[in-house]
Structure 1
Amino acid sequence: MGCLDLSGSVSGIHPPADAAQAVEALERKEGNPIRLILILKPGPGRSGRARRGSGLS
């Protein structure tokens, strides 16, 4: 199965601390937003990479 490249539809990548501002910008449609991604720090034993089947690989 191939991967789906969604990079062209990602409007911004933000840390969780900026989530509220990112959602507000999305609601106000600032900069023609399409999709936002929140990046979380990986916990112990986690690589931080998307899991197979998550749709993010």
Structure 2
Amino acid sequence: MLVKTLGYVGVESPDAKEWLAFGPEVLGMEAVEAASGSVLLRIDDADHRLAVHHGDRNR
């Protein structure tokens, strides 16, 4: 199977809220906090490309 594009990537982190600063400052992505507490990062006109959800460990 050949992957041609990715819609978005989701990860978990116990420090998800730290991505509110890391996303813009390090990655140059716009960051917003979703109602669920997840941090959504975007770089283009898509709603988001990276979703960081709260979890017990980084994965």
Question: In terms of Rg, which structure is larger?
Answer: 1
Q: Greater relative contact order: 1 or 2 (C-alpha under 8 angstroms, separation 6 or more)?
A: 2
More strand by share: 2
TM-score, normalised via structure 1 length: 0.29
